[in-house]
Amino acid sequence: MLSNQYSTDLQKLPFHLTKKSWITPFAQHKILTLIVCILAIFFLFQYRFSRIQPNENPSLKVTTWDAFGYYLYLPGIFIYQDVKDLQWLPEIENKYQLTGGDLYQANRYKNGNFVFKYLGGVAILEAPFFAIAHLYAKLSPYPADGFSAPYQYALAIGALFYFSYAIFLLRHLLLLYFSDLATAITIILLVLATNLPQYIAVESAMSHAYIFPLYALIIWLTIRWHKSPTPYSAFLIGLTIGLATISRPTELIMVFIPIFWNTQNKIVAKEKWQNVKKHLNQLYLALAGGFIGIAPQLIYWQIVTGFLIYDVGSKWYFLNPFFDVLIGWPQGWFIYTPITILFIFGLFFIKKFPFSKSFTIFILVNIWIIISWADWKYGASYSTRALVQSYPVMAFPFAALISQILKTKWKYALIPIGFYLIFVNLFQLKQYQNGILHHRDMNRKYYAAIYLDSNPTPLDMSLLYNPEKLKNPKEYQRISLYKSSETIDLFANNGNPIILDKTNFLIDSQNFKKENWLYFQMDMSSHFGFWDSWIVCKISGDSLLKEVRYRIGNPLTIHDSINRYEFFVKIPETKIESLEYQLSIETDSYFTGKLRSLEVQFYR
């Protein structure tokens, strides 16, 4: 049963507020959460449009990589009337460079037709904004090709529109159970201390931004049906779940929310199932709504493959999940956005609420699914992006925990801790967008080196590729093995690396109390092959002992400019005293550049 006591009864407000408290009038009228929601929307609009690239064509480009795959349905159906051969695609790719270089967003089926890898639910949600953009493009000088500036801006604004709807709806839902203050704190931290800004405002044509409002909607519809069962609500519950399922198939578990709502104890659960039996015809309406929701995808598959069902090829390891998704250094959810730990901890504080069992089951199953996907790094991600769309659900246990904290002495720590987590998150988002915080290959030592550092050094950057660094070089004997400031023209191609230096050196194989290290420093410019070429160090004895690769193109280097590269390599333990290192450049295509200087030192 719903209750408004947490948001209306001043005697039960956190801090035991009185008429003299400055926040009382805000809490009475729920103004605090209203202000917070408006500011959150303003922040995300500003966050999006402050990151426009005026020199790009178009200046805003959101339909790239995975987002391109979700969007393909709309131009394919409504502009080119071609979703089988995609004859229009090469010209679009040549003009805008959207696929990422390889068309993985569509696969050739055995009948010769292309089949889109990503499902069409997101495109359905994008359709109103696509229509507006297409009309505008036809009336303006912009190409009405589905990918010019009007379409990019429309999709970005569409994502923010859905977020605006969702955040106000979420505010309304949270206020049914929690105080104005607890709800305001929840929304602030949900928006600013998580990876939400990246996937709502920046990568806004990805699926996360468009599914996010569906979770707020399903919660509202579930509450509405349990309060007053109607055929309309039942049908919309099914339709919402169906639409979410053809946006990302794993969102089918959204069905746990209405199924387990109001089952937090035996008494209310018995009443709930009696109510379901009483309105059994509405269950059939919900199933009908679900079928209508997924029908567009089935129709598309029938048209392009001849079958109602198509296997998109995802793989899962449910019995051997990847817990690094949560606690691993590459992209760990709890590591890069630690506020999310409280989302889970809050589950211990929702036992008395009607959503207790439904949200607990949903969150735990959802996380298990997310950490079981074969590509557990999710291509490219800041923190764990695959959980962003379900944040409206996680807001409830989080708000329950916040409410409990506000009743204790720990309430005074909320402001400094909250501000710190927001600051760290926004700083890291900037690092992520600049490429300093890597999209899939972070490690502990590199993260420690760049933590809250806006200007990491080339030596810091080397830890991304080889997490080895000599901590106290002054305690070691330093021997110069090679030094040159001669300018050398460089050329390499795939299978034919260029050798920069190859030198023998001696170590004391009997004394490994102190480690042995090599240090490399070089200044080099790259003219071609900047992003797909590597500096490679190989250490050999009788055989290859170690190989370290350092990418030439990285966030600190500039194409066609002189860049500094530095890195340490720890020499592995061996009984062989005479070793050899080889420093070279290898490439996946071909590489041209100039070596300006090179220095190699041996620390022992």
pLDDT of the residue at 23:
52
Fold of 460-603: Jelly Rolls (2.60.120)
Residue 520 CA to residue 525 CA, distance in Å, equals: 16
Identity of residue 330: P
Rounded to two decimals, what is the model's pTM? 0.93
Chain mean position to CA 300: 28
Average pLDDT over residues 243-265: 98
Whether the per-residue pLDDT at 7 is higher than 70: the answer is no
Average pLDDT over residues 562-579: 94
Six-digit token string for 574: 């061996």
Q: From its phi and psi, is residue 100 left (phi > 0), alpha (psi between -120 and 50) or beta?
A: left
Q: What percent of the chain has pLDDT over 70?
A: 95
pLDDT of the residue at 26:
53
Secondary structure, 3-state, 27-90? HHHCHHHHHHHHHHHHHHHHHHHCCCCCCCCCCCCCCCHHHHHHHCHHHHHHCCCCCCCCCCHH
Residue 191 CA to residue 228 CA, distance in Å, equals: 32
**Domains in the chain: boundaries:** 5-432, 460-603
Q: What percent of the chain has pLDDT over 90?
A: 90
What band does 575 get if pLDDT is binned at 50, 70 and 90?
confident
Asked if the peptide bond before residue 229 counts as cis, ω within 30 degrees of 0, the response is no
Residue 41 CA to residue 556 CA, distance in Å, equals: 33
Identity of residue 37: C
HSE-CB at 581 with a 13 A cutoff on CA atoms is: 26
What band does 512 get if pLDDT is binned at 50, 70 and 90?
low
B/e letters for 569-590, b = 16+ CB within 10 Å, e = fewer, are bbbeebeeeebebbbbbbbeee
The tokens 């605090």 sit on which residue?
32
pLDDT tens digits along 29-61: 799 999 999 999 999 999 999 999 888 888 999
Six-digit token string for 69: 């795959």
The tokens 């900047």 sit on which residue?
530
Average pLDDT over residues 474-501: 95
pLDDT of the residue at 5:
38
Residue 178 CA to residue 447 CA, distance in Å, equals: 37
Whether the per-residue pLDDT at 152 is higher than 60: the answer is yes
Average pLDDT, the chain: 94
pLDDT of the residue at 16:
35
Local structure of 269: helix, strand or coil: helix
What band does 27 get if pLDDT is binned at 50, 70 and 90?
low
